[in-house]
Structure formats: C-alpha cells, structure tokens
Structure 1
C-alpha cells in the first residue's frame, strides 16, 4: 500500500514538473519571437516558427462585418527584417496556456507599439507543436483594435 501511494505521488509530481517545463519552454519560444521582432532579427524570429506556420488576423470592417486576413510567415519575417527606424514592440501577457502532449495553445492579450507610440491592441492565440528542436509556433491568429484593450 505504501509503495503504491508513493508511486502515485511521484507520478503526479513528475507529470506536474514536465508540464511546468513545457509551459516555461512555450513562453520562452513566444518571448524569443517577440525579441526577434523588436531587434529586427529575422533569423531569431524565423527560428521560432514551424516551416508550415500560418498567420491570420480577425478584424472588423467599417461596415461592421468580420474579415479574415491570411499572411504568409515568410512575408511577415521579411516585413520585420526591412529597415525601420522605430522598434516594433508587442507587449504581451500570458493569460492561459493549455498543453496536451505535443500540442499547446497560448492566449496572450497584447498592446503593440511602434517606438513609444501605441498602434493597436488585441489578443494573440498561438498554436504550438513540440518538435525534436523544441516548441515551434504552427499557427497564430489575432485580433486588432485601437480601443477596449485588455489590461
């Protein structure tokens, strides 16, 4: 009985430790992506992406209808790497991370600044996959607005 209870407790603590490590690694991948964006470092940025990553934004048109915009990851990396005088600074909060084996989701409200000037805000949803090289971003969808920013 004692050995069974000890084995059960050990497996619970081990599973919890793995999830905490994965959560920290997921946060590190996302943080590295934004660090690369701030630095204009396309190699750093691209290293966080899976080769088949998809980027989408959900927005509201002037007439109130909803639109979906899809962008190629390569176009995003290129735009970040183009010379610009102001820093692209996306400030996020990690609200929720869910993990199921090699699949994870992170919900991150954000505020985006060009230099020190506020541009827009919204929420990112990252879908991530654990690979032999670590956690890679496979999908990002976001919302964009100028007001009603989540604090």
Structure 2
C-alpha cells in the first residue's frame, strides 16, 4: 500500500517534469525555421521565405519617434514582395538566439538582431517570434520587433 501511495505521489511530479522538458531536437527545428526565414531574406528568395510562414502569419513592429511609441502592423505579402524585388544591397539581419520556449505545438523565440543593408548598419533591436508546429513542421505565426539605431546590444 505504501508503494502505491508513493507511486501516486511521484506521478504528478514526473508528469510536470516531462511537460517542462523541451527536447533539443525540437529547439533545433524551431531555430532552423527562423534561420531559413533569414536565409531567404538574404538571398532575396520569397519562395523560401514563404515556406517558413504559417497561413495567416502576422507581422508587427514597435518603434519610437519623437518620444512616441507606435505599434505598426506590417503586411507579410508586402514584405515578401519587397524581398523578391531586385535590390542592390543584401538584406542581412544578423541574429542570435537568446531564449527558446516550447510547449506542445507552440514556440516562443527571443532574438536580438542587427540589420545591415549590404555592409552598412541600418538598425537593431529584438525580434519575438511565435511559431506553431503544423503537420509540415514549425512555422512562424507572428513576428514582432523593436527598431532603433542606437544602444544596440
């Protein structure tokens, strides 16, 4: 009887441990989706970029101008069009992975970045990605970022 009681007490703790543990393979798959997104941007390949987005993906940016903070929606289709339109300089967003949190089919990723047009620094900030795991893998459902030209990293 004591063994049964002890087992019943351990079961919830074991379940919560499994729920909090994210396999390294899932984190790598999430990172790969985000890396493909930026590879597509650098290559000017909107087809590659599109493969990383969930249907109905949403983009936002936060910026401050003259002391006023603004949240601005951005059109994913307009973004894809701008990437695909020939341009002189490479759109090069350099990121590092700061935090990756995963629960079931939801991932939240925090990445500081610096954005360059070719070799020229443009702006910096942080990206927050929300991804969903669909039948064909991890897809970006929402991107929101901050943008500034100073106090980078």
Aligned residue pairs, count? 141
Tell me which stretches of 4 or more aligned residues in structure 1 moved more than 2 Å: none
Q: Does 1:38 align with 2:42?
A: yes
CA distance in 2 between partners of 1:114 and 1:65 (Å): 26
- Give TM-score, length-normalised by structure 1: 0.87
C-alpha contact 1:38 1:89 (8 A) present in aligned 2? yes
Match of 1:77 among 70, 76, 80: 80
Offset of residue 19 of structure 1: 2.0
- 5 Å-filtered alignment, 1:12-23, equals 16=21, 19-23=23-27
Offset of residue 113 of structure 1: 0.2
Q: Which residue of 2 aligns with 1:113?
A: 116
String of CA shifts for 1:13-62, please: whole Å, max 9, x gaps.
9x85x621110000000000000000000100011001100000011022
5+ residue gaps in structure 1? none
- Give TM-score, length-normalised by structure 2: 0.86
Offset of residue 72 of structure 1: 1.4
Q: Which residue of 2 aligns with 1:92?
A: 95
Give the greater-gyration-radius structure (CA): 2
Q: Does 1:147 align with 2:123?
A: no
5+ residue gaps in structure 2? 8-12
Q: Which residue of 1 aligns with 2:52?
A: 48
